[in-house]
Amino acid sequence: MRFAFPTAVVVLLLVAIVSGSNSARLTLSRAFGAAGNATPTIQSLDMPPATPAPLPPPAFAPAPGGQRPYIPILMYHYVRNVDQATDPLGYGLSVTPDQFAAQVEWLRRSGYDTIQMSALAACIRGESLCPARAVALTFDDGYMDAFTAALPVLQEYGATATFYIVSGFVGKDAYMSWDEIRTLRNAGMEIGAHSISHIDLTTLSHDENVDQIARSGAEIAAQIGAPVRSFCYPSGKFTPEIATITRDVGYTNAVTTIQEGAQNDLFTLPRLRIYGDMSQDGFQATVAAYLP
């Protein structure tokens, strides 16, 4: 009973946010950048204490003369061993821990830096220096092996990555918990949002999209104690209106599953899918084709 009243307040606030899109936009975008220090908002009611100040992203060697070289964005899902015969779909979405280690080792030994998506966005917007030669590593869905298999490799080779979390899946079977996500963040990784329920956003109303896109980011920001600036469309599905909502609620960039293209539109960024059956030579050729 102790918690009955605060819970009711949370529900009322959520209803208010979902039902009025103008006030929702204000509340949510304020919540985004100011996790933990605003007047009572959704996350200040019953969230754990925020972690300390944001960590600076790892350094990269800047491109000379304000140049902006292409920055390949690599897309991963699972880092695990999967049997191709019994789970062909899962196999296609997975690289093995050994494959991933070989890929990151090659990147680092070949002089590629790694860059977080929010830093990539700042470079494209002309707000900060761009890396001379870097790739962005991205991981979708927030699976447990991001913590158990990807993180150790990234740390071993001094690399960073962006992890897109489905806020409603956190703590479920095979998904990371908030503690594990905070550990990723504190280890220098960027945490991005990937909706609340991984629903196809193109099937939703405007207000439902505001909720899926903004509230997932606000929940994650409250949990990690830092702003969330990067979004990933579930299954790569979006429309121009969805991209506009993503920008309006406070993200600086969003990635798709489009396989190739320019990086001029920060809300429709293409990525290179890294397949489970990709050889090491194939991986190296894929990256080098975009950024020799």
Q: Which residues bind Zn ion (CB under 5 A)?
A: 140-141
Q: How far is the CB of 166 from Zn ion (least distance, A)?
A: 7
Beta-bridged to residue 269, according to DSSP, are 255
Q: How far is the CB of 271 from Zn ion (least distance, A)?
A: 12
Q: How far is the CB of 80 from Zn ion (least distance, A)?
A: 16
Burial (CB count within 10 angstroms: exposed 0-12, middle 13-18, buried 19+), residue 109: exposed
Report CA dihedral (131, 134, 140, 145) to the nearest 10 degrees. Answer: -120
Q: How far is the CB of 150 from Zn ion (least distance, A)?
A: 15
CA-to-CA dists, residue 200 to 5, 87, 197, 207, 208, angstroms: 34, 23, 9, 14, 11
CB of 107 or CB of 191, closer to Zn ion: 191
List own/partner pairs for 82-89 with CB under 8 A and 24 or more apart: 82/276, 84/276, 84/277
Return the residue nearest Zn ion (CB atom).
140
Q: How far is the CB of 159 from Zn ion (least distance, A)?
A: 21
Q: How far is the CB of 238 from Zn ion (least distance, A)?
A: 13
Taking the C-alpha atoms of residue 235 and residue 146, their distance in angstroms, rounded to an integer, is 18
Structure tokens that stand for 241 in this block: 């209106």
Q: How far is the CB of 169 from Zn ion (least distance, A)?
A: 10
Q: DSSP string spanning 151-202?
A: HHHHHHTT---EEEE-GGGTTSTTB--HHHHHHHHHTT-EEEE--SS---GG
CB of 185 or CB of 194, closer to Zn ion: 194
CB of 140 or CB of 211, closer to Zn ion: 140
CB of 112 or CB of 147, closer to Zn ion: 147
Residue closest to 34 by CA, chosen among 268, 273, 250: 250
Question: Is residue 291 within 8 Å of residue 112, measured between CB atoms?
Answer: yes
Residue closest to 13 by CA, chosen among 166, 168, 215: 215
CB of 113 or CB of 140, closer to Zn ion: 140
